[in-house]
């Protein structure tokens, strides 16, 4: 082997090592979460931690049950999904299929910029603008609640859902569309019966990633969700999702005390939720990938 070849192989190995940084980081994140979170399970069983209804980490004796936090997270994600999925998918369909190039050119950057809005600004907006509005309109005691947080989160996940679905819709082969139109279907029928089914894997991936973003988002739920660690009974109840609990309490939790360990353990649960979402999204996009034109 010449020196030149040896150098080439060396460079290739080096690049591989650098590319592995992401995996190493992911593993390190998991490792440190578990290292700092596992000790709580010497005090509380996994079952009591996950299904305990009471989160009173600073009482004496403390209660470390995060069921209300998990339900809080699922509830805000559910509310946000109910808004963001139709909004995101319809926008994607409009931009990819119907919009004039001019409309597209204006609307696409706007959606991209919506994704760029800092979460703390969206949270602040929800606090000072949306909350008083909800309070007045619905005559409720506080505007900082499940509904407000879900709504703000929806506008954070719409760009994710919209841009990934749009790519999927855009890549449906034109021949499928032409065949449908030639058979006499209207444009709408073509969209609902041909284009959407053909791009369903991409659209599902988009929806799951959008929900993953919503469940992990911190600042919005910290500022807008109301912060009560209880299982919500209505859309206008305040909630305390997992990220809000971690962000709000970590500063006060004594270093390597039970409360500190419990917050890291909450981080593990949150990490696992998003990890599962991402694996599922990845599986869907790989398994049902459109191959060639005859796969329908």
* Interacting positions 202-231 with another protein (CB under 8 A): 209, 212-213, 215-219, 222-223
Pick the closer one to another protein by CB: 47 or 223: 223
Pick the closer one to another protein by CB: 37 or 232: 37
Angle, alpha carbons 106-108-114 (nearest 5°) = 105
Residue 8 binds to another protein (criterion: CB under 8 A): yes
Binders of another protein among residues 133 to 192 (CB under 8 A) are 155, 158-159, 162, 186-189
Residue 291 binds to another protein (criterion: CB under 8 A): no
Using the structure block, give the residue that is written with the tokens 């959008």: 210
Residue 232 binds to another protein (criterion: CB under 8 A): no
At 289 the three-state DSSP class reads coil
In terms of Cα–Cα distance, which of 178, 176, 179, 195 is closest to 94?
Answer: 195
Please count the residues of the chain. 296
At 172 the three-state DSSP class reads coil
Rounded CA separation 263/273 (Å): 15
Residue 7 binds to another protein (criterion: CB under 8 A): yes
Residue 196 binds to another protein (criterion: CB under 8 A): no
Residue 1 binds to another protein (criterion: CB under 8 A): no
The residue from 48, 54, 78, 119 that contacts another protein (CB under 8 A) is 119
String marking each residue 9-48 x if it binds another protein according to CB under 8 A: --xx--xx-xxxxxx-xx-xx--xx-xx------------
In terms of Cα–Cα distance, which of 256, 259, 228 is closest to 60?
Answer: 259
Compute the CA torsion angle 150, 154, 157, 163 (nearest 10 deg): 160
The residue from 46, 56, 58, 86 that contacts another protein (CB under 8 A) is 86
């Amino acid at each position: 082997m010449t020196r030149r070849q040896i150098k080439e192989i060396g460079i290739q190995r080096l690049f591989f090592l650098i590319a592995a940084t992401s995996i190493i980081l992911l593993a390190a994140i998991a490792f440190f979460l578990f290292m700092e979170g596992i000790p709580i399970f010497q005090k509380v069983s996994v079952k009591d931690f996950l299904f305990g209804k009471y989160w009173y980490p600073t009482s004496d004796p403390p209660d470390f049950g995060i069921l209300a936090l998990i339900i809080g997270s699922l509830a805000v994600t559910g509310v946000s999904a109910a808004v963001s999925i139709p909004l995101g998918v319809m926008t994607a369909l409009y931009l990819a299929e119907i919009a004039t190039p001019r409309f597209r050119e204006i609307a696409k950057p706007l959606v991209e910029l919506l994704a760029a809005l800092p979460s703390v600004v969206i949270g602040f907006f929800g606090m000072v603008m949306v909350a008083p509005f909800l309070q007045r309109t619905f005559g409720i005691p506080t505007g900082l609640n499940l509904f407000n947080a879900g709504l703000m989160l929806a506008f954070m996940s719409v760009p994710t859902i919209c841009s990934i679905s749009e790519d999927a819709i855009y890549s449906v082969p034109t021949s499928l569309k032409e065949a449908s139109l030639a058979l006499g279907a209207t444009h709408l029928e073509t969209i609902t019966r041909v284009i959407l089914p053909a791009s369903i894997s991409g659209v599902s991936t988009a929806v799951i990633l959008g929900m993953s973003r919503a469940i992990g988002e911190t600042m919005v739920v910290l500022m807008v969700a109301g912060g009560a660690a209880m299982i919500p009974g209505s859309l206008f109840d305040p909630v305390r999702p997992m990220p809000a609990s971690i962000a709000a309490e970590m500063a006060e939790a004594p270093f390597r005390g039970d409360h500190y360990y419990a917050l890291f353990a909450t981080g593990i649960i949150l990490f696992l939720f998003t990890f599962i979402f991402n694996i599922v999204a990845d599986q869907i996009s790989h398994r049902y990938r459109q191959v060639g034109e005859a796969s329908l």
